Structure 1
C-alpha cells in the first residue's frame, strides 16, 4: 500500500493568497474552489470579491483578509510547527482532496507520510461500554498490523481507544478547533503521544479557534473524507458518529457497523445502520476484504470545472433575476437550475458565486443550493 504521489507544490505567495481567500467573509471550501476555477489564481479572485458581492446584492462588500493578517497567521503556524498544505500537495490526504468541500488549506502536524497512506476511520460513543472500547482497540490494532492508518476525532470513548491501539502503526487525529485548542483538554497527552510517534493531527481551523458545537460535524466530514471507510462501533440515535456515517455515504465511502445488544441504547444507531445496508463487522477481516477492491482502483483526481469558466462573460441582469426566481429556502440541485433556466453552466455558477459572496446563498451536500 504505497503512498500516492502528489502533483503540485504551491509558491509561498500563492499559499498566502489562498489563505487570505479562505479567511475572507462568505468564502467556504466550495466557494473557494469555484473562485479558483473561475479566475485561475487566488490573487485574481481576491481582487474580484467586492464586485462579485455587489452584483449578488450585498449592501457592502464583506471583509477581505489582509496580507498582514495572513502573514501573521503563517508566522504563528511556523512557531507552532503547523504546516498549511493544499490538495495534491505532499501531506494532504489524497482521498480527502477528492471531496467537493475539501479544505483549501489543511493545517497539519506530525508525519506527512502517514497522512498519505490508506486510512480507516473508527468512531463511536463517548460513553462507550467496556466491550465497545475493547473491540475498538482490537480492530484498530489489527487494521494497523495490516498496514492501515486509523483516523478518528480524538474524542472520549471509542475515538481514544482506537487512537491508543494504533499509536505504533500510525493514527491521525482530526481536530475540531485550532491545533492549540485541543478538545477535550485531557487528551493533550494523547495527542502528544500521537505526534511523538508516527502519527499526525489535522484541522481546517486557524490557531486560536475554540471548537464550538457546529464545528464537530465539519470535523466529521474530514474524518470520513480522508478514509476508505468508516467503522461505527457504538452509537446511539442522533449521535455525532451517525453524522459521520451519513457523510461517509454521501462521499462514496464504505460504511461499517458493529452490531450490539438491542437492549443497549449505545448500539441502537449501529444496529439501524446495518438494517440500512451498512456492512456488518465482527472482525478486521470484514473491513480488509471490503476495501481491497477499492484500493486497486486508480485514485480519482479532484473534479474541476471546465476551463471555459475562466473566459465566461459576466451574467446579464435578466439571467441573474431568472436564477434568483428559481431559488428559495428549499434546497434545489444545480443540475435542475441549469435545466430549468436554460442558461449555460458557466453563467449559472457565476450567479451562484455572486449570491454566496453576498451572503444570500447556502450550499448543501450533493450539489444542492438554497437562498438563506
Structure 2
C-alpha cells in the first residue's frame, strides 16, 4: 500500500433511505422553492418538524415578512417530473444523512439537503482530495496535475474537481481509472463547458457526477462559487496547482480554509502570472506540494475523523408549528437588523425574544426576499 494510503474501497452497497418517497418529493419541492437555500431549509425543517408542514407555512411566513405574492413553490407534479428526468439519465437524489451522502459535506452549515448523483455513488463514501487550478493552464501544470491525480488514485484517494478546462480536466482524466468526482455548477443535463462533454460522460461512467441544482439549470456566473464550496466541502483537502492572483481557484482555497479543510499549493515561477495565486497561498501558510506524499502524509491521519455535523432531518423535530411572534417582538428584531451581518445569538440577546421567535422572524424576512444568510449563524438585511 502506498504511503499515506487510506483503507481499501468498500464494495457498493444499497443506500440507506431515510425518507419515504412522499417525503423525498416534499424535500425536493422545499429546496426548489424561491428564497429557500440549504440553511433556510434546515431552519424550516427544525421549526416545523418536516418539509410538508414547512411548505404549508411558507405563504403566511412570506406575507408576514412583507411579501405580497407568495414565493414560487414547485408543484408535486413538477417535483415528480424532475425525479423522472433524473431516472432517465441514470441519476438519483441522495438526501442528507443517507449512506451515500458524503460525511465531510454533511458537516457543512450549508450542506445541500439533496444531491443529484450519477455514476458510481460508492465513491462518495471514500476519502477525497480536491484538485483545482487555472483554465488556461500551462503544459507543465497540466502534466503535474495529471501525475499527482494518478498518484493520489494509486494511493486510494478519490479526486474531486469542477470539470472545467485546464487543471480540472487534467485531474479528472488522469484519475478516471481509480475514481473521480465531477461537480456541476448547473443541473446534470446542462454540462459545462460543452467542449468537455466527452470527459463528463467518461466521469459519469467511471466516476460520479454531482449537482445540487435543478436538473435543467443553466449555470450562471454566481453558480460557480457555489459549486466551488461543494468541491472543497467534499474533500479533506484542496490542492491548487496553478492560479493567477484573481483566479476562481483561490475562491475554492478560501472556502476550504473556512470549512476547516487543508490547503495545498504547487509552487511556480514568479515570472508566470499563473503561479501568482499559488505562490501567495504558500506565503499565507498553505502546504507546499511537489509529490503525492506531501498531500497524503497530512491527510491520512484525518481519515475516519471527518466532522459529523448536520442532522438526518427525516424525523419531526417539533410536533406542532411554532406560533407567530407578536408585533412588538418583530419590531424589536427588525430594529436590530441592518445590511451589516449580525450574529443570530446577538439578536436573541439584545431583543429579549426567544430563539424560536427570532428564527421565525428571520424566516419571514428571508422568504420575503429581504434577508441574507452570509455565513454560519449570521444574517443581514438586503
Q: Separation in 1 of the partners of 2:360 and 2:320?
A: 11
Alignment map for 1:1-372 (pairs within 5 Å): 1=7, 8-197=17-206, 199-297=207-305, 299-302=307-310, 307=317, 312-372=322-382
SS at match of 1:244: helix
> Is this contact kept in 2: 1:250–1:366, CA < 8 A?
no
1:341 deviates by: 2.1
**Aligned CA distance change for structure 1 residues 358 and 108 (closer, same or farther; 3 Å):** same
- Structure 2, unaligned runs of 5 or more: 1-6
CA contact (8 A) 2:101 2:125 kept: yes
- Give ranges in structure 1 of 5+ residues lacking alignment: none
Cα deviation for residue 161 of structure 1 reads 0.6
Higher relative contact order at CA 8 Å, sep ≥6: structure 1 or structure 2?
Answer: 2
TM-score (norm 2): 0.92
Runs of 4+ in 1 over 6 A off after TM superposition: 308-311
Deviations 1:1-34 (A, max 9, x none): 3669976431111111111111111111111111
Q: Structure 1-normalised TM-score?
A: 0.94
Instruction: Figure out how many residues of one structure are paired with residues of the other and give that number.
Output: 371
CA RMSD of aligned residues (A): 2.0
- Map Cα deviations across residues 273-319 of structure 1 (whole Å, 9 max, x no partner): 11112111111111111112221426513168995796654322111
Cα displacement (A) at 1:251: 1.1
Which one is further off, 41-50 or 89-98? Answer: 89-98
Could you say if the C-alpha distance between residues 298 and 270 of structure 1 is closer, same or farther in structure 2, counting changes exceeding 3 Å? closer
* 8 Å Cα contact 2:48/2:322 also seen in 1: no
1:98-135 deviation line (CA, Å, top 9, x unaligned): 11111111111000111111110000000111111111
- The alpha-carbon distance between structure 1 residues 299 and 330, as it changes in their structure 2 partners (threshold 3 A), is closer
